[in-house]
Amino acid sequence: MNNRITLKLNNETRTVMVQPNDILLDVLREKLGVKSPKIGCERGDCGACTVLLDGKTVRSCLILAIEADGHEIVTVEGLSKESLTPVQRAFLEHNSFQCGFCAPGVVLAATELLESHPQPTAEQIKAAISGNLCRCTGYQSIIEAILDVPPKTGKSL
Amino acid sequence: MTTLKYVGESATRIDGLEKVSGAATYVDDLEFGPNLLHAEIVESPFAHASIQRIDTTEAEEVQGVVRVVTGKDFPSRFGLYMQDRFVFPSDRVRFVGEQVAAVVARDAQTAKRAAKLVKVYYKEIEPVLDLEQALKADAVVVHPDLGSYTRCPWFYPQPGTNIAHWRKTRKGDVEKGFQEADVVFEDTYTVPRYAHCAIEPHAIVGLYDLSGRLTLWSASQSPYTQRHVFAQALAPLGITHQDIRVVTPYIGGGFGGKAGVSMEIIGVALAVLAKGNPVKLRWSRSQEFYNTYQRQGVIARIKMGVKRDGTITAIEHTLHWDAGAYVEYGANVVNAVGLSATGPYRIPNVKIDSVCVYTNLPPGGPYRGFGYSEFHFGLESHINTTAKKIGMDPVEFRRRNAIREGDTLAYGAQMNPSGLHEAIDRVAKEIGWGEKEPSKDPRKAVGKGFACFWKAPAMPPNAGSAAFLKFNEDGSINILVSGMEIGQGFMTAMAQIAAEILTVPPAKIRVELPDTDRNAYEWQTVGSHVTWGCGNAVRAAAIDAREKMFAVVCRAHGCAADTLFLADEKVKCRTHPDFELPFKDFVIGGVQMAQGNFIGGPILGSGSFMPEFTSALSDPETSQGGHPNVHYTVGAAAIALEIDKETGKIKVRKAALAVDAGKAVNPDLVRSQIVGGMVQGLATVLYEDIRYDLNGRLLNANFTDYKIPTAKDIPDEIVPIIIEVPQPDGPFGARGIGEHTMIPAAALVANAVEDALGIRVKALPITAERVVLALLDIPYEDVRGSYRGFCFTGKPDAYAFRAEATKRKRAKGSPRSSSY
């Protein structure tokens, strides 16, 4: 019952054999070696497994790997290959994260938001990251960092 | 004192880059190759039952199953302060979800499938799910063998009963105190159980290799304590401390839930029995709720006497804790409260009874605040009501009674330096205390609430910290400690402390995550004590390294040690202003002499710290005579909220919290603790609402039904205020603040709700549902349906606070026949 799927993962074409019921999160972590999407709840509540699927945030624990066939997946590993993105830099400078477990998901949620709203309001930020649970920070340091990202001048991701 | 350069600076977190780049590695991210085995647990469906028989035959026949493990294979008990917990119970189960067996298989799916084939035959025993029942003379006893359990000397279990520990503190004469009072007022408060909800579930990988070396990769706040507890449990197999290595990569949140040992012992047992193969055990989100630790539920009665001038004359504080099935850690929470339930007030006459009761709900244990959040809800609510009774402003009432340095604590020792009065004043000013700004919306009521707080670390008197510090060729530094970076910023704080002494910027200092083979000892990262305890060890190690550098320079250059000093990563000399020796020129390779030889050698520093003045020895009837707590950290907080009178929904408009950090090593990280702690505290009041059915099964073990705050649920504004009255024995005057920031939250909301609506809510949580019911004057107990938040179902005001069980002899639970 193995199926071959091909996807663009962090700007590289990857092919992998999966079972029809394999979860995208598990395949990313166990078969493709991408560890930044985390396992937190396995039911779409916590957002720790967030990845960008064709530029949109999805919970990779709620998607079958086979559904990603032919699509593009970006994780934090893909964002920071060369250097930090402006939003990652802002998170670093604001000491935004504590334990860091939610960070990969929050970074991607913020990245998606800034693509469509280069100068978001605090309310827009709260809405955009409201699917990513963080138990440490109380979110304030995360929101402040996103507010502090300079409007984009260069090319898109 | 000279001005500080690095301590007190809001340095960038030294773990920040790893965390924003996705490089930070947690236990579940580690690779162990194709030989990695996976485990699945067989769980008890009953809150209380004897295990008649376990049939593993069918499970063992499944292809890919390596081993099925039951209590027969691993009969050990374990526990931190009292060995009352079982790796796998073999005679009886004591909570729904308790591990009865485990299947170890080549892959997770096979393990899961085979686990369903393990047949366990139970005989139900009447569960203990009500505190009142638990303490009756004829109660079913959860631990018939309580008297035989190994325990720490400051626990006082009562064998034959469900009382696992009873901390009594007596000071002065409360009856006399109540007579002297103009007003005596008593009331009852209840706090249900709570779950930590760290986003990373517990995980452990164990490898017992063919040479007999046992390595554990564990998501833990307590690597050394884990090693010690593992060694105790494995002693019958001849495995000792030197055979065990605990490695802790980053952990995704702890909050006390990853302190001590909970599920990890199962991983250890499975690894030992599957020798030669690494075994992974990762908890599901639901297991995370019911089989680690929970914050214990409590019902508390407070009787307070006051004079008309606002002086508190006496307090009687009785707390009955639903501590759950095992109390190896939770009983120490009960103990800590029993010593400190006066709150931060000078009260001459004190009677505290903090009673730890075994029940058949999941094990209670440490949770950020360690019992103080729980008792502060009642106490700080009671303070407000008492102030009202004498017609005094509640902030003024607190100011009059606030504890000061040198005051005698309930157990007889002296209070440490404290900025409590400053905290009260600054918070009152920040929140605009006394100013009422009514809402423009007639459907909304506004109110303000105020509360003080304190907390001491709860540690054994010999809890030690140690540090190794080594220089590298480029003059950079690695610090090897075993305090845990649980998100609080421990690594950065340690780097800043070493930086201050050695003049090396924090960005050039690495602080290594714990590995018990390599890093120096740390008892545990709990109790908000590591900045203080481990900070002292790091400071000592840095000074040790500095003295060794001076010694090398003295020998090489013939100058006097007392003329040398460090500046800008160089050794300099007061008497020879031209002399300077950069660290990188000699800390590894030494100083070259005229003859071509070198003097010196790689510079290493080490340091240790133990609070030698503490003692847990005291009179069990009064707690007088010892010095159980190292010091208290104090503070005050206030909120302004708005309540929708139609929906009951509460919106926190503003919160302010001042905490006396002694010295904020990194003010930005202190502020992060204040904001994060405040939100976590508010969550326990406004959103989190744990529900057990009447058989003791947890109904909402997930984030859909157990609500923790999202970014949309936070206060509009949180103002952190840092007070700095130095702690004389702290590194640069620092003391811990991590837990304290969530302690006042529940009372803040309760007090603000009363201010807004004139209704006193005495039971947590204060969700929208409960506010609406209160507004409609409908008693919550009448309409809540068949569930409970902890082992209590009656009306709080009717609870008798009896503990009849104390005087009778051993009794056993009577088995009821029912098979599964």
Report H helices in B72-188.
108-115, 131-134, 174-180
In terms of pLDDT, which residue wins out, B523 or B807?
B523
Which chain B residues touch A48 with a CB distance below 8 Å? 199-200, 252
Question: Is B253–A135 a contact, with Cβ atoms under 8 angstroms apart?
Answer: yes
According to CATH, the topology of domain A3-78 is Ubiquitin-like (UB roll) (3.10.20)
Query: Measured between CB atoms, which of B198, B285, B669 is closest to A135?
Result: B198
Q: Which CATH class is domain B32-124+200-252+258-290?
A: alpha beta
Whether the per-residue pLDDT at B212 is higher than 80: the answer is yes
Within an 8 Å CB–CB cutoff, is residue A105 touching chain B? no
Burial of A20 (0-12, 13-18, 19+ CB in 10 A): exposed
Share of residues in chain A with pLDDT > 90 (%): 92
Chain B: give the shortest CA distance to residue A136, in Å.
5
What is the mean predicted confidence (pLDDT) over B68-96? 95
Distances (CA, A) of B379 to B340, B364, B622, B643: 11, 21, 21, 23
Within an 8 Å CB–CB cutoff, is residue A124 touching chain B? no
pLDDT at residue number B820:
35
Chain B: give the shortest CA distance to residue A18, in Å.
15
Question: Is B20–A92 a contact, with Cβ atoms under 8 angstroms apart?
Answer: yes
Tokens representing B142? 């959860």
Q: Where in chain B is the domain with CATH 3.30.365.10?
A: 16-23+464-609, 163-195+293-459+617-798
Within an 8 Å CB–CB cutoff, is residue A20 touching chain B? no
Query: Measured between CB atoms, which of B17, B285, B711 is closest to A126?
Result: B711
How far apart are alpha carbons B357 and B719 in whole angstroms?
39
Please name the residue of chain A whose CA is at the shortest distance from the CA of residue B703. A45
pLDDT at residue number B803:
84
Which chain A residues touch B28 with a CB distance below 8 Å? 38-39
pLDDT at residue number B784:
84
Whether the CA torsion A88, A131, B289, B87 is positive or negative: it is negative
Cβ A75 vs Cβ A36: under 8 Å = yes
Which chain A residues touch B196 with a CB distance below 8 Å? 135
Within an 8 Å CB–CB cutoff, is residue A104 touching chain B? yes
How far apart are alpha carbons B161 and B715 in whole angstroms?
45
Tokens representing B171? 């000071």
Q: Please give the CATH number for the structural domain made up of B16-23+464-609.
A: 3.30.365.10
- Length of chain B, please? 820
pLDDT at residue number B805:
56
- Length of chain A, please? 157
Whether the per-residue pLDDT at B570 is higher than 50: the answer is yes
Question: Is B703–A46 a contact, with Cβ atoms under 8 angstroms apart?
Answer: yes
pLDDT at residue number A82:
85
Distances (CA, A) of B270 to B37, B210, B214: 10, 15, 11
Distances (CA, A) of A124 to A93, A121, A127, A130, B719: 21, 5, 5, 10, 22
pLDDT at residue number A81:
83
Distances (CA, A) of B638 to B420, B424, B653: 14, 9, 11
Whether the per-residue pLDDT at B386 is higher than 90: the answer is yes
Ordered by start, the domain boundaries in chain A are 3-78, 83-147
Whether the per-residue pLDDT at B810 is higher than 60: the answer is no
What is the mean predicted confidence (pLDDT) over B370-377? 98
**How would CATH label the architecture of A83-147?**
Orthogonal Bundle (1.10)
Q: Where in chain B is the domain with CATH 3.90.1170.50?
A: 32-124+200-252+258-290
pLDDT at residue number B720:
98
Please name the residue of chain B whose CA is at the shortest distance from the CA of residue A125. B711
A157 pLDDT band, cuts 50/70/90, is very low
pLDDT at residue number B95:
98
- Cis preceding-peptide flag for B236 (omega within 30 of 0): no
In terms of pLDDT, which residue wins out, B817 or B30?
B30
Q: Which of residues 34-93 of A touch B (CB under 8 A)?
A: 35-36, 38-43, 45-46, 48, 75-77, 79-80, 84, 88-89, 91-93
Burial of A15 (0-12, 13-18, 19+ CB in 10 A): exposed
Q: What interface predicted TM-score (ipTM) does this complex get?
A: 0.97
Spatial strand order in the sheet of A56-59: A12-18, A3-9, A72-74, A50-53, A56-59
Query: Measured between CB atoms, which of B21, B252, B282 is closest to A84?
Result: B21
B364 pLDDT band, cuts 50/70/90, is very high
Within an 8 Å CB–CB cutoff, is residue A108 touching chain B? no
C-alpha neighbours within 13 Å on the C-beta side of residue B311: 10
Burial of B557 (0-12, 13-18, 19+ CB in 10 A): middle
How far apart are alpha carbons B385 and B378 in whole angstroms?
11
Give B447's strand partners: B641
Q: Please give the CATH number for the structural domain made up of B163-195+293-459+617-798.
A: 3.30.365.10
B278's enclosing H/E stretch is: strand B278-282
pTM beyond 0.80? yes
Question: Is B672–A141 a contact, with Cβ atoms under 8 angstroms apart?
Answer: yes
Spatial strand order in the sheet of B278-282: B65-70, B99-105, B37-43, B278-282, B203-208, B214-218, B244-247
A19-51 confidence digits (pLDDT tens): 999 999 999 999 999 999 999 999 999 999 999
